[in-house]
Amino acid sequence: QVQLVESGGGSVQAGGSLRLSCAASGYVYSSYCMGWFRQAPGKEREGVAGISTSGLNTYYADSAKGRFTISRDNAANTLYLQMISLKPEDTAMYYCAATKYCSGGYSLLGRFYNYWGQGTQVTVSS
């Protein structure tokens, strides 16, 4: 069955960096667009970044632009999110997700994603 397993979360101080990974299995990874989402306690889920099947097209929420970089390795069935200059407001559970709806307009909309991981916690202290 489809599995998405996130890793790389942790606790860092403001200004620090983290690299999240998402290992995919059980489906043709390279045929799906991928995304990173996050949800903080008491807040709605937010689309952070999306990436096309080839990795050539990427999409970012305004909150992530200039600080986060999404990438993928189709040979390794792995998705990444490099995060720098982290802020306390970045604190959340981060989820990776897969979708067949590969349109830029859908990249940050969770309802268009078919498969989800269990999440990895990122905590940024001031």
Q: For residue 101, what pLDDT band results from cuts at 50, 70 and 90?
A: confident
Query: What mean pLDDT do residues 98-124 have?
Result: 93
Percent of the chain residues topping a pLDDT of 90? 90
Average pLDDT score, the chain: 96
Q: For residue 69, what are its two tokens?
A: 């970089």
Strands (E), the chain: 3-7, 10-13, 18-25, 33-39, 46-51, 58-60, 68-73, 78-83, 92-99, 115-116, 120-125
**pLDDT of amino acid 47:** 97
Cα→Cα distances 52→43, 66, 94, 104, Å: 27, 19, 19, 8
Across 58-67, average pLDDT: 97
* Confidence at residue 4, expressed as pLDDT on a 0 to 100 scale: 98
